[in-house]
Amino acid sequence: MGDIGITLLLVASLFVILGSGVWIGLTLSGVAWIGMQLFSSRPAGDAMAVSIWGSASSWTLTALPLFVWMGEILFRTRLSQDMFRGLAPWMQALPGRLLHVNVAGCAIFAAVSGSSAATCATIGKMSLPELKSRGYPEGISIGSLAGAGTLGLLIPPSIIMIVYGVTAEVSIAQLFIAGVLPGVMLALLFSGYLMVWAWRNPALVPPADAPMSLGAKLKESRHLIPVILLIAAVLGSIYGGIATATEAAAIGVVGALVISGAQGSLNWQTFKESLLGGTRLYCMIALILAGAAFLTLSMGYIGLPRHLAEWIGTLGLEPWQLLVALALFYILLGCFLDGISMVVLTMGVILPTIQKAGIDPIWFGIFVVLVVEMAQITPPVGFNLFVLQGMTKKEIGWIARVTLPFFLLMIAACALIYWVPEIVTWLPQQMRR
């Protein structure tokens, strides 16, 4: 059987097993076992044990459960309500007014969460009831939240950046730094769209609250101090070269526990819920990573990544054509898989192609994160759409429709980092000096 036949058989096996309701991690292991058993001389059981143990015992991966746990702790504190109180007075003068709280709140929470779903859920729990009670239209409120929630993946620390760094064997600290300017750029694009929307629909924007003096605004801003201190501790320790990503994650957990205790919301119940929630989420991710590690090893023995890279090389695609094709591929894949599964499932095949095209793996990591962000708001498996459906009880199709402008802005962001790659590469270059 040729490479095309093997590929089609494995892809068909993947979708058949996924369609039967088997967990994604077990599905990846099953497809890898089929490929190695049928098309390789190495015993599949031995290869499975070696690859899964190697994946599970990776020291670099220890940052992941700690960042997940930190997000779970903050999710169960008063942080979100305090953020609204601190941000709202400064947004009243902008066109669109409190709609910008969705963007600013998601950008700030993304810097201490690392999870798109957690960012969307936490800020949504804070902002949607407030916006609804003040008369803001549901469509733009929910759409802006769905779009801005994806900043949880791009603004460091990011769970998916850790996963990419491990699978692509690139520096996680460099990835974190590379994500800062694109994250700020995307947040500004979202806020810019909200301003344009407000200018075009002035009748739909409720009147501003009573004006506040500068002193009163600054007094309300004190509620932002805990989260700003936590961001400074986590990211400052990484960028300052004081701590590795894993050590910074541990600092973040301790800081989150201190904030929770200071707010009076840390008790045995919230501690237990955060620990169990973080454990459940990490176990799901770890199972996917283990299955993907075995699949990558299996594909390597079969030789598919090398053959695919050679085939793509013969097509003579320009780098921009290759990136457009990969973006379409990931958006399509995002209709069926979550972001972490997409990254770990494809990196073994995609990276040799990227390297052959001469594309910087750090830059490509940020590009992949942006494209995966799009998949977070692409039906039917867009995680942010599921989160918002659970919160608002709206139809997935309706939520996807009101989110479409923000999807298009992410496409614009991909084009911008291609045309001006320094948006991604400038900060990592400064760190290397």
Residue 363, in any domain of the structure: yes
pLDDT at residue 340 in the model: 74
For residues 23-37, average pLDDT: 81
Domain contains 293:
no
Phi, psi of 135 (to 5 degrees): 95, 15
Question: What is the arithmetic mean of pLDDT over 249-257?
Answer: 87
User: What pLDDT was estimated at residue 160?
Assistant: 85
CA 41-293-285 angle, to 5 degrees, is 150
What are the contacts of 17-23 at 24+ separation with CB within 8 A?
18/336, 23/284, 23/287
Whole domain around residue 123: which residue ranges? 58-266+303-432
Helices (H), 264-395: 268-302, 304-315, 319-333, 339-356, 361-376, 383-392
Q: Is 139 a domain residue?
A: yes
For the ranges 57-61, 366-370, 410-414, the lowest mean pLDDT is seen at 57-61
CA 342 to chain CA centroid, Å, is 12
> Can you give the pLDDT at residue 3?
61
Q: What is the pLDDT of residue 60?
A: 62
> Is residue 365 predicted with pLDDT exceeding 70?
yes
Question: What is the chain's percent helix, strand, coil content, to nearest 5?
Answer: 80, 0, 20
Whole-number average pLDDT of the chain? 80
> Which pLDDT band holds residue 308 (cuts at 50, 70, 90)?
low
Q: Identify which has the larger pLDDT, 345 or 291.
A: 291
Digit-coded pLDDT (tens) for 115-127: 676 677 767 777 7
35, part of any domain: no
279, 224, 259: which is closest to 74 by C-alpha?
259
With CA atoms as reference, report the closest residue to 387 among 119, 51, 189, 139: 119
Give the per-residue pLDDT at 427.
87
More confident residue, 76 or 380: 76
Would you say residue 23 lies in a domain? Answer: no
pLDDT computed for residue 181 by the predictor? 92
Q: Note the pLDDT of residue 192.
A: 93
- CA dihedral (257, 262, 268, 272) positive or negative: negative
Q: Is residue 310 part of a domain?
A: yes
Average pLDDT value for residue range 18-42: 79
In a domain, 329, yes or no: yes
179 close to 154: Cβ distance less than 8 angstroms: yes
**pLDDT tens per residue across span 185-232:** 999 999 999 999 989 888 887 876 667 677 777 777 787 788 788 878
Domain annotation covers residue 271: no
Residue 256: C-alpha distances to residues 20, 36, 113 (Å): 40, 44, 10
pLDDT score for 197: 92
The stretch 144-155 carries a mean pLDDT of 85
Q: Which of the two residues, 190 and 252, has the higher pLDDT score? A: 190
More confident residue, 370 or 91: 370
Judge whether residue 334 has pLDDT over 90: no
Q: What's the structural domain count of the chain?
A: 1
